[in-house]
Chain A
Amino acid sequence: MNNVIICLFASAGFDRATQGVAGAGRRLADALGGQLHAIMLGAFTATDEAALAAIADHVSVATELADYQPETCLAALTQLCQPLAPRAVLLSNDTYSQELAPRLAFRLGGSAVADGVELISHSEHLQVKRAVYGGKAVATIALKRNPAVVWLRARAFEPAAPRDVTANVEPAALTLTTNSATRIVERKSESAGEARLEDAQIIVSGGRGLGGPEPFEDLKALAATINAQVAASRAACDAGWCPPTWQVGQTGKKVAPGLYLAVAISGASQHLAGMSDSKVVAAINTDADAPIFKHCRFGIVEDYKKVVPLLREKLAAARQ
Chain B
Amino acid sequence: MNIVVCLKQILDPLAPAREFRVDNEKKEAVRGAASLVTNIFCENAIETALQTKEKLGAAKITALTFGAADAEDSLRKALAMKADAATHVMNDGATNPDPLAVAQVLTAAIQKLGAFDLVLTGRESGDWGVGQTGALLAELLNTPYVGFVDSIESADGKLKLKRQTDNGFELVEATPPLVVSITNDEHNVPRIPKTRDVMMSVRTPITKFTLEDLGVDVATIRAGGDYYAVADLSIPVKDVQCEFVTGDSLEQKVEQLAQRILEVTRAL
Instruction: Give the interface of A toward B (CB within 8 A).
Output: 70-71, 94-95, 98-99, 101-103, 106-107, 111-115, 127, 130-134, 136-145, 179-191, 196, 201-202, 226-227, 234, 237-240, 243-245, 250-251, 253, 258-259, 261, 268-270, 276, 279-284, 288, 291, 293-302, 306-307, 310-311, 314-315, 318
Contact = CB atoms under 8 A, between A and B. Distances in A.
- Where chain A touches its partner, the secondary structure class is mixed
Nearest to B254: A310
Nearest to A226: B265
16 contacts: A95-B147, A99-B148, A106-B135, A106-B136, A111-B100, A111-B227, A132-B129, A140-B230, A140-B231, A184-B171, A190-B167, A284-B257, A296-B240, A302-B254, A306-B250, A310-B251
A179 B175 CA distance: 11
B14 A188 contact: no
A289 B253 CA distance: 18
B164 A244 contact: yes
Contact of A183 (B27, B128, B173): B173
Nearest to A228: B265
Contacts of B135: 99, 101-103, 106
Given A183-B172, A184-B171, A234-B184, A298 B236 contact: no
Given A186-B170, A191-B168, A226-B262, 11 more contacts: A95-B164, A102-B135, A138-B233, A139-B232, A190-B168, A226-B261, A291-B17, A299-B244, A306-B250, A315-B261, A318-B258
A141 B231 contact: yes
A269 B127 CA distance: 12
A101 B150 CA distance: 20
Interface stretch (B45-53, B65-73, B137-145, B208-216): B137-145
B242 interface: yes
Interface in B1-38: 11, 13-14, 16-18, 20, 22, 27, 29
B227 A298 contact: no
Contacts of A139: 27, 128, 230, 232-233
Closest 5 CB pairs of A and B: A240-B186, A102-B135, A314-B258, A140-B232, A102-B132
A188 B165 CA distance: 9
Nearest to A303: B250
A64 to B, nearest CB: 19
Given A137-B235, A139-B232, A244-B164, A297 B170 contact: no
A310 B258 CA distance: 9
B136 A103 contact: yes
Interface in B153-181: 163-175, 178
A132 B128 contact: yes
Given A142-B229, A297-B240, A133 B189 contact: no
B123 interface: yes
Interface of B: 11, 13-14, 16-18, 20, 22, 27, 29, 41, 99-100, 123-124, 126-132, 135-136, 138-139, 143-148, 150, 163-175, 178, 183-186, 189, 226-236, 238, 240, 242-245, 250-251, 253-255, 257-258, 260-262, 264-265, 267-268
A115 B129 contact: yes
A111 B228 CA distance: 7
Given A181-B178, A300-B245, A315-B261, A114 B132 contact: yes
A282 B250 CA distance: 17
A306 B253 CA distance: 11
Given A99-B147, A133-B29, A191-B167, A300 B228 contact: no
Contact of B129 (A134, A259, A283): A134
B192 to A, nearest CB: 15
A184 B170 contact: yes
A182 B172 CA distance: 7
B242 A293 contact: yes
Nearest to A151: B131
B237 to A, nearest CB: 11
B52 to A, nearest CB: 17
B257 A298 contact: yes
Contacts of A226: 261-262, 265
Contacts of A196: 166-167
Contacts of A258: 264-265, 267-268
B264 A95 contact: no
A103 B189 contact: no
B240 A268 contact: no
A279 B20 CA distance: 25
